[in-house]
Every structure is written in structure tokens, then in C-alpha cells.
């Protein structure tokens, strides 16, 4: 199996092979996923790093935060028999219907999961592979406040006069990262691995040195070698407890 080549072919031929799903994508203004291969380069790099070509077809895989479910749908299409997926209803808001329509066209059963800082979450079982790609599970927006016209708001993004959005977040600190890593480990098989492709990855910034040191000690931190900004292409891999 040449994962890169085969997945790229899948994306390139997606509209021809899955016209109904493609129409369902197009109904969503918010989430219509890109088939642009550049977007998927980092995913491919990281999955190769996790030795995807060695995974047996009964590997249990969870895509945590699947949105339009491109990856879990592909895994099922190529014969993986134990593929699960989650998405956050809170985050989807009024776009949930669009997502549900796509998942039904794909025949994907997607569970709701919204992870909060230092709040225990449960999964149905242990997995060999957990993927959280282009993920914002490391955002702590709980204590983020906006002051506008003398009033306090909890909004975490604003649209400017040019209709461009500006999003604000506080990245998980050491204690929150530790909690997240331990929580995920509970749901990894002893040889299991979880890929957190945190987007954006804030920890290269000097202000987050303590967090980066912690991640480097407890996980495998890496980035793809595409020459693009580090925050766009960094990830960490959590390993199961043997």
C-alpha cells in the first residue's frame, strides 16, 4: 500500500466516485471540505509517521473531531473494519444539520464529544489509534472574556468590517495538557497511539516554553517539513501505557 498515492487518488476522484456525498458537502457553506491536496499533505505526513501502511485492517481507529468525516470514510472504504468518529455538537451549532446530512450519506455513525479543560471525558472503549487532526481540543475558551461598549461578552470570535473573522483562544497550560494526555491514554491500547495535530500549535512561542518542555517530555512533538509556519504543521503523539 502506498498511502500517500492512494489517498491522493481518492481525493482527486472524490466527486466522480461519490457524487451524492459531494452534493451534501456543497450544501454546507461552513464546512464544505477541501479536496485540495496541499491541505491534506500534513495529514498524510503525520499518518505515515504513525506507520499507517503497517496497520492491520482490524486496527481500531477513532477520528476525534471528524467534521466532514473525510478520513474515517476513507478508512472504511479501504477495508478498515473498526472505525469510529466523534464531532462536537457545541462547536457545530446551527451547522449540525449539514454535518448530519453528510454523515448519513456516508453511512457514518458519529458520536457527540466536546472536551473541556480538566473535565474527564469518556469513550466507549480503548483504541489502537486516535486521531485529532486540525484540532482545537487544546483551546481553553472558558475564561476568555471580551469587553465591548462597557459590557462583558464570552464570544471568542468577531467579524471585522471586511467580513474576516478573528478568533481568540487561550492554549491549554501544563496542567490542562497533562489532564488531556492522561485522559486520552486511558482509551489507548498498550501499543496504541494518539495523534494530536493541534491547529494552531501555539507552543513554539517563547511565552509557552513551559508547555513545550512538558509536551517534549511526555509526547513525541514533531512538524511536517513543508517549510510553512510551524504553528500550521505541528503535532504531538501520545503513546499508550505499556
Ligand X SMILES: C[S@@+](CC[C@H](N)C(=O)[O-])C[C@H]1O[C@@H](n2cnc3c(N)ncnc32)[C@H](O)[C@@H]1O
Shortest CB 114 distance to ligand X, Å: 5
Which residues have CB under 8 Å from 206's CB, separation 6+? Answer: none
Pair 216, 181: CB distance under 8 Å: no
Q: Is 88 in the site for ligand X (CB under 6 A)?
A: yes
Q: Are strands 165-167 and 157-159 parallel, antiparallel or unpaired?
A: antiparallel
Which residues have CB under 8 Å from 8's CB, separation 6+? Answer: 37, 40, 44
Shortest CB 162 distance to ligand X, Å: 22
Q: Is 224 in the site for ligand X (CB under 6 A)?
A: no
Site string for ligand X, 89-118 (x = CB under 6 A): --xx--------------------xxx---
* Residue closer to ligand X, measured from CB, 156 or 217: 156
* Residue closer to ligand X, measured from CB, 6 or 213: 6
Looking at residues 63 to 82 of the shown chain, list those that interact with ligand X (rule: CB under 6 A). 65-67
Shortest CB 229 distance to ligand X, Å: 17
* Residue closer to ligand X, measured from CB, 65 or 202: 65
Q: Can you say whether the dihedral through the CA atoms of 130, 201, 25, 30 is positive or negative?
A: positive
Q: Is 133 in the site for ligand X (CB under 6 A)?
A: yes
- Of 135, 219, 224, 234, the residue at the interface with ligand X (CB under 6 A) is 135
**20, three cell numbers:** 451524492
Shortest CB 113 distance to ligand X, Å: 5
Grid-cell match 464546512, residue found: 31
Shortest CB 150 distance to ligand X, Å: 30
**23, three cell numbers:** 452534493
Q: How far apart are CA 225 and CA 234, in angstroms?
A: 10
Distance of CA 175 to the CA centre of its chain: 21
**DSSP β-bridge partners for residue 236:** 196, 221
Site residues, ligand X (CB under 6 A): 65-67, 87-88, 91-92, 113-115, 133-137
Amino acid at each position: 500500500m502506498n498511502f500517500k498515492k492512494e489517498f491522493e487518488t481518492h481525493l482527486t476522484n472524490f466527486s466522480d466516485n461519490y457524487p451524492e456525498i459531494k452534493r451534501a458537502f456543497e450544501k454546507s457553506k461552513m464546512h464544505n471540505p477541501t479536496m485540495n491536496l496541499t491541505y491534506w499533505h500534513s495529514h498524510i505526513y503525520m499518518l505515515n509517521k504513525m506507520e499507517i501502511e503497517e496497520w492491520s485492517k482490524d486496527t481500531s481507529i477513532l477520528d476525534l473531531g471528524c467534521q466532514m468525516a473525510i478520513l474515517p470514510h476513507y478508512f472504511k472504504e479501504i477495508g478498515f473494519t473498526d472505525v469510529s468518529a466523534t464531532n462536537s455538537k457545541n462547536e457545530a451549532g446551527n451547522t449540525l444539520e449539514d454535518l448530519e446530512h453528510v454523515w448519513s450519506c456516508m453511512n457514518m455513525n458519529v458520536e457527540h464529544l466536546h472536551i473541556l479543560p480538566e473535565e474527564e471525558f469518556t469513550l466507549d472503549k480503548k483504541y489502537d489509534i486516535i486521531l485529532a487532526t486540525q484540532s482545537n481540543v487544546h483551546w481553553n475558551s472558558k475564561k476568555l472574556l471580551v469587553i465591548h461598549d462597557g459590557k462583558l461578552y464570552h464570544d471568542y470570535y468577531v467579524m471585522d468590517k471586511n467580513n474576516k473573522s478573528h478568533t481568540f483562544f487561550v492554549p491549554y497550560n501544563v496542567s490542562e495538557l497533562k489532564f488531556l494526555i492522561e485522559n486520552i491514554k486511558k482509551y489507548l491500547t498498550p501499543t496504541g497511539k494518539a495523534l494530536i495535530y493541534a491547529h494552531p500549535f501555539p507552543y513554539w512561542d517563547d511565552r509557552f516554553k513551559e508547555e513545550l518542555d512538558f509536551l517534549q517530555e511526555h509526547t513525541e512533538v514533531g512538524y511536517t517539513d513543508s517549510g510553512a509556519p510551524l504553528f500550521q504543521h505541528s503535532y504531538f503523539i501520545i503513546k499508550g501505557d505499556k
